[in-house]
Structure 1
Amino acid sequence: MKYLALIAPIFCASAFPALAAPSTQALTYDIFEVSVPHMDLENCPETLAAENVFCRATLHHEELHVFAFSYDGDSPLVGFKTFSAEGIGSLLSE
């Protein structure tokens, strides 16, 4: 998890250009909410589930990217996981 602060900005800069501006701040939910089109998840996936955490998801290149944020403080990003969403395009076009 200690490398998450380094990986998340790189991912976000490449996948979501709106977050590409250099920053020394951690990614918080306030920044994410206005910068990244996303879906609110009622529950976090088991691999990200924790006490005092909420999750949001994005769909990009047939992958579902789930971001976990803490309810503490400024709601910093505390976890991230990518899941294959292969074939979801056909489901969405029906």
Structure 2
Amino acid sequence: MRVAFVALASLIGSVANAQDTDTLTYEMFETAIHHVNLLDCPGELSGEGRFCRMTIHNDAFHVFAFSEEGEQPMVGLKTWYEDEIDMTFK
């Protein structure tokens, strides 16, 4: 489990510093990162032809947006910290 968190931290760090977000494809993300599929992309990540996946790391939710086109490149990343989230479970 610790290895997965280290991999996620490295991935998030490299993605956040990347000039070109097309370098991370969904295939790469899918095989390397434990995640949850979201029904819809939240807020500014939403858009036609996109899908989103979420990870939790260091008391934050990280939502990755991918294009449905071609090799499904990452087109966005947004992080919400614990003090920015209000959740209710049904």
Q: Same fold (TM over 0.5)?
A: yes
**Given the alignment of the two structures, is residue 72 of structure 1 paired with residue 69 of structure 2, yes or no?**
yes
Shift of 1:13: 6.1
Who is 1:85 aligned against? 82
Who is 1:46 aligned against? 43
Runs of 4+ with deviation above 3 angstroms? none
Who is 1:7 aligned against? none
* Structure 2 residues without counterparts, runs of 5 or longer: 1-5, 15-21, 86-90
CA distance in 2 between counterparts of 1:41 and 1:48 reads 12
Cα-Cα RMSD: 2.7
Q: How many residues align?
A: 71
* Structure 1 residues without counterparts, runs of 5 or longer: 1-11, 89-94
TM-score of the two chains, using structure 2 as the length reference: 0.69
Report which of the two has the higher share of helix.
Answer: 2
The share of aligned pairs that are identical, in percent, is 44
Contact 2:8 2:33 in 1 (8 A): no
TM-score of the two chains, using structure 1 as the length reference: 0.66
Shift of 1:85: 2.5
> Aligned letter for 2:9?
A
